Amino acid sequence: MVQIYKAPLKDMKFLIRDFINSESNKIYKNSNIEQNDLEMILDEAAKLCEEILLPINQSGDIEGCKLEHGIVSTPKGFKEAYKNFTENGWQGVSVNEKYGGQNLPYFLNMFLDEMISSSNMSFGLYPGLTSNAIEAIEKNASEDIKNLYLPKLASGEWSGTMNLTEPQCGTDLGLTKTMATPQKDGSYKLTGTKIFITCGEHDLSKNIIHLVLAKTPNAPKGIKGISLFIVPKIIPNSDGTLGENNSLECGSIEKKMGINASPTCVMHYNEATGWLIGDLNKGMKAMFIMMNGARLMVGVQGLGMAEIAYQSALHYAKERLQGRSLNGSKSLDKQADPILVHPEIRKNLLKIKTLTEGLRGLMAWTGLQVDIAKIEKDKFNKQNADDWVSLMTPIIKSFATDVGCEATNLAVQIYGGHGYIKDHGIEQLVRDARIAPIYEGTNGIQALDLVGRKMPMHTGRLLKSFFHEVKEYIEKNSFNYNLKDFMPLLIKSYTRLQQVTAFIAAEGLKDPDEAAGAAVDYLKMFALVSIGYVWTKYAEISFNKLNNDPEGFYKAKIESGKYYMTKLLPETGSLMSSILSGAKSYNKYNDEYFDLGFKI
Number of residues that this document lists for the chain:
600
Q: How far is CA 161 from the centre of its chain?
A: 16
Task: Give 370-416 pLDDT, tens digit per residue.
Answer: 999 999 999 999 999 999 999 999 999 999 999 999 999 999 999 99
pLDDT of residue 524: 98
pLDDT at 449 over 80: yes
Say if 101 falls within a structural domain. no
pTM value?
0.96
Separation CA 480–CA 544 (nearest Å) = 12
Residue-wise DSSP of 325-370: -TTS-S-TTSSS-BGGGSHHHHHHHHHHHHHHHHHHHHHHHHHHHH
Give the model's confidence band at 585: pLDDT under 50 very low, under 70 low, under 90 confident, else very high: very high
Interacting residues of 85 by C-beta distance below 8 A, sequence separation 6+ = 48, 91, 127, 156
Q: How confident is the model at residue 292 (pLDDT cuts 50, 70, 90)?
A: confident
Among residues of the chain, what percentage have pLDDT more than 90? 87
Q: Kindly report, residue by residue over 311-344, the tens digit of the pLDDT.
A: 999 999 999 888 888 887 777 778 888 999 999 9
DSSP string computed for 155-188: HTSEEEEEE--BTTBSS-GGG---EEEE-TTS-E
Phi/psi zone of residue 218: left (φ > 0), alpha (ψ -120 to 50 degrees), beta? Answer: left
State the DSSP code for 152. H
**CA 532 and chain centroid, separation:** 20
Confidence of residue 26 (pLDDT cuts 50, 70, 90): confident
> Does residue 464 sit within a domain?
yes
* pLDDT value at residue 127: 97
Please tell me the predicted confidence (pLDDT) of residue 297.
Answer: 96
Q: Are strands 207-215 and 158-163 parallel, antiparallel or unpaired?
A: parallel
* 3-class secondary structure, 217: coil
The values of phi and psi at residue 245, to 5°, are -65, 140
Domain assignment of residue 50, yes or no: no
Which residue(s) pair with 275 in the sheet? Answer: 230
Residue-wise pLDDT for 512-569, tens only, equals 999 999 999 999 999 999 999 999 999 999 999 999 999 999 999 999 999 999 999 9
Number of domains in the chain: 1
- Single-letter amino acid code for the residue at 447: A
pLDDT tens column, 504-514: 999 988 999 99
- Split at pLDDT 50, 70, 90, the class of 33 is confident
Question: Within a domain: residue 23?
Answer: no
Tell me what pLDDT residue 332 has: 75
**pLDDT confidence of residue 171:** 74
Residue 567 lies in a domain: yes
pLDDT of residue 280: 93
- CA-CA distance, 569 to 126, in Å (whole number)? 36
DSSP code for 321:
B
| Distance between CA atoms of residues 592 and 595, nearest Å | 6
Q: Give the rounded percent of residues in the chain with a pLDDT score beyond 70.
A: 99
Q: Is residue 497 part of a domain?
A: yes
Question: Among residues 527, 283, 306, 290, which one has the least CA distance to residue 397?
Answer: 527
pLDDT tier for residue 174 given thresholds of 50, 70 and 90 = confident
Identify the pLDDT of residue 600. 62
Range of the domain at 566: 450-583
Query: What distance, in Å, lies between the first and last C-alpha atoms of the chain?
Result: 51
Out of 427, 440, 514, 540, the active site residue is 440
Mean pLDDT, the chain, as a whole number?
94
491 inside domain = yes
Domain assignment present for 476? yes
Of the pLDDT bands very low, low, confident and very high (cuts 50, 70, 90), residue 222 is: confident
| Closest residue by Cα to residue 230 from 209, 215, 206, 250 | 209
Q: Is 138 a catalytic residue?
A: no
Q: Is the pLDDT of residue 119 over 80?
A: yes
DSSP letters, 53-121, are IGGGHHHHHHH--EEETTEEEPPTTHHHHHHHHHHTT-TTTTS-GGGT-----HHHHHHHHHHHHHHHH
Whether residue 583 contacts residue 518, with contact meaning beta carbons closer than 8 Å, is answered with yes
Which is it for the CA torsion 96, 97, 100, 102, positive or negative?
A: positive
pLDDT at position 1 is: 56
Instruction: Return the pLDDT at 22.
Output: 67
- Residue 32: pLDDT above 70? yes
Nearest Cα to 274, choosing from 214, 150, 193, 189?
Answer: 189
H/E stretch holding 519? helix 512-543
